[in-house]
Amino acid sequence: MMDDRPAGMLAIDQVGMEFALADDGSTFNVLDNISLDIPKGKFVSIVGHSGCGKSTLLRILAGLTMPTLGEVRVDGSIVEGPSVSRGMVFQQDAVFPWLSVRDNIEYGLKVRGMKKAQRQAESDTWIKLVGLEGWENAYPKQLSGGMRKRVDLARVYANKPDVMLMDEPFGALDAQTKATMQSELLSLWQQAGSTVVFVTHDLEEAVFLSDLVIVLSRNPGRVKQVLQIDLPRPRNEELRLSDEFLGEKRRLFDVLSET
Amino acid sequence: MTEQIIGGTDRRTRRVAISPQQIAKKERRQKLLIGTTSLGAVALLYTVVSNLPSANAVLTPPPQLIFSTFVEKLSDGTLLSATWASLQRVLIGYLIGTSLAILLGTLMGWFKYVEYVFDPIVECLRPIPPLAYIPLVILWFGIGEFSRIFIIVAASFLTCIVNAYSGMKQVPKVYVEAAQTLGASPLTVFRTVALPYSIPFIFAGMRVAMAASWTTLVAAELVAAQSGLGFMLQSGRRFFDTSLVMTGIVMIGILAFSMDRIFRSVQQRIGQWSEVQ
């Protein structure tokens, strides 16, 4: 399934990001000379201490922020702004409160001009996949935080992006819901096959989900190390307590705490 | 010991007898009852005072007199034609004023160059009460229908534009960026995110503008009109017909109150998605 994706390869080429601190011309270097190749179809996490620029890097991949140096290419073409081929799930609640669950999921399809019947068929599929049958006509305020994230995931996945960018999407959820959502995300990823770049500061989350974990250092944000996680798939809840899992988590922890 | 346990079990098995709907219903009933009583008390006080032997019926006409004047003016058509004249002015002026306000306010709140051009002008005009323009408008355009409607346009425009503008200013960035990454063009973001998000704000502004329109209309008609409710009030004063003045006041109250009610129910329906209503 994964190999029939036509696209989804990311090339981050010497990306740097500086913010002007004050009018006197002093700058703050958030990201410094980041170069990474992210193979298509992989699940890649970016971890690092807060302030290491991992969210900034993700926004650059999305085309929501322009880097001050370097460039990002997706399947060869330079990123110059947001695009439907790169879906984004935000840390905050981004589900539109004035639209029903169904209308939220169909939003991307609608703005791209898909016919109503086809839209409905698509949203039916995604509503089923994220387990929201019976909630089609509910409004976001009637849903729990976990259910709203499901709507958000379905909305972005329905758009069939080549790359899924996720900025600590489960950061605001309780531990139980978070674990459930991680498993659901893995099964969505396996079905859709798109590349995922997932920003988190939760090491367990990074190990559980990823093929590759990119560790960023702070001040300025640089690539410290890229770790390959060779745990078997499909991954389930049992895995979290296995020795291999804890070993990988330890390895990641050690890399992160090196100074 | 045993008795205590049994007692405890008894308490635990007691059913909750009141549902949330029933509580809400009870509260509504209480609110209505107390509200009617307090209003009734004021009416009763006025009735008693105006019927005292020492009362001056010319200054404080008793309710029965106001009522008979109301009925009389209603049946001879003067009340209805005055109401119609005022209502027409309010509606025309209000529709033009709020439409312009929504158009300009939303564009100002969303597109920065529109804001740069119009914001200073609006900010200069807004703090001035619309009533202050009446003399100027009369000097410029005379005391005709145009002047009266013009003032209502100004009043409803200046009150409504602030809400339309600030609603657009408060659209959370994450909604905009989510829409962009889902494929929405800037114009689509404006239409499908910014506008729906601002609708509750715009409606609140339209409601305030309706109240402002009535206030301004009556003032405008007091100064310069040959018809309408304000004119009726003014002629009542001129001929010392206090019960006619009271009739006008009651009629304005009824109209403004019912329009506000209509607004409130529409507002509730439109803002259903909102967490805070």
Instruction: Please give the pLDDT value at position A22.
Output: 75
Of the candidates A93, A107, A139, the beta carbon closest to that of B182 is on: A107
Instruction: Please give the pLDDT value at position A1.
Output: 41
Instruction: Please give the pLDDT value at position B277.
Output: 37
In contact, A41 and A194? CB cutoff 8 Å: yes
Instruction: Give the DSSP letter string of B150-212.
Output: HHHHHHHHHHHHHHHHHHHHT--HHHHHHHHHTT--HHHHIIIIIHHHHHHHHHHHHHHHHHH
Residue B274 near chain A (CB below 8 Å): yes
Neighbours of A220 (CB within 10 A): 18
Instruction: Please give the pLDDT value at position A123.
Output: 94
Mutation site, B182, B185, B195, interface A, largest A CB count within 10 A? B182
User: Hey, is A232 helix, strand or coil?
Assistant: coil
Asked if A141's CB is within 8 angstroms of B274's CB, the reply is: yes
- Which residues in B lie closer than 8 A to residue A101 (C-beta atoms)? none
B216-226: burial string, b at 16+ Cβ within 10 Å, e else? bbbbbbbbbbe
What is the tens place of the pLDDT at every residue in A90-149? 999 999 999 999 999 999 999 999 999 999 999 999 999 899 999 999 999 999 999 999
Asked if B174's CB is within 8 angstroms of A98's CB, the reply is: no
Tell me how close the Cα of B225 comes to any Cα of chain A, in angstroms: 45
Asked if A98's CB is within 8 angstroms of B197's CB, the reply is: yes
Structure tokens at A243: 């020795």
Tell me how close the Cα of A139 comes to any Cα of chain B, in angstroms: 6
Instruction: Please give the pLDDT value at position A6.
Output: 58
Instruction: Please give the pLDDT value at position B93.
Output: 95
Instruction: Please give the pLDDT value at position B14.
Output: 56
What is the tens place of the pLDDT at every residue in A154-182? 999 999 999 999 999 998 889 999 999 99
* CA pair distance B130, B122, nearest whole angstrom: 13
A88-117: burial string, b at 16+ Cβ within 10 Å, e else? bbbbbbbbbbbbbbbbbbbbbbbbeebeee
* For range A214-231, the mean pLDDT: 91
Instruction: Please give the pLDDT value at position B276.
Output: 45
Asked if A82's CB is within 8 angstroms of B177's CB, the reply is: yes
Structure tokens at B111: 């597109």
- pLDDT one digit per residue (tens) for chain B, 277 residues: 444 444 444 555 556 667 778 888 999 999 999 999 999 999 999 999 998 888 888 888 988 899 999 999 999 999 999 999 999 999 999 999 999 999 999 999 999 999 999 999 999 988 898 888 888 998 999 888 899 899 999 999 999 999 999 999 999 999 999 999 999 999 999 999 999 999 989 999 999 999 999 989 888 888 877 889 999 999 999 999 999 999 999 999 999 889 989 988 888 887 777 654 3
User: Hey, is A215 helix, strand or coil?
Assistant: strand
> What ipTM does this complex have?
0.91
* Among A45, A12, A26, residue whose Cα is nearest residue A225: A45
* CA pair distance A218, A52, nearest whole angstrom: 4
Give backbone dihedrals phi and psi of A32, rounded to 5 degrees, phi first: -130, 115
Residue B270 near chain A (CB below 8 Å): no
Asked if A155's CB is within 8 angstroms of B181's CB, the reply is: no
Q: Is B212 exposed, middle or buried (0-12, 13-18, 19+ CB in 10 A)?
A: buried
**What is the Cα gyration radius of chain A?**
19
Asked if B174's CB is within 8 angstroms of A92's CB, the reply is: yes
What is the tens place of the pLDDT at every residue in A52-89? 889 999 999 999 999 999 999 998 889 999 999 999 99
* CA pair distance A163, B132, nearest whole angstrom: 60
Rounded (10°) angle between helices B20-51 and B63-75: 100
**How many residues in chain B?**
277
Of the candidates A92, A140, A159, the beta carbon closest to that of B183 is on: A159
Structure tokens at B158: 């200046």
Instruction: Please give the pLDDT value at position B20.
Output: 79
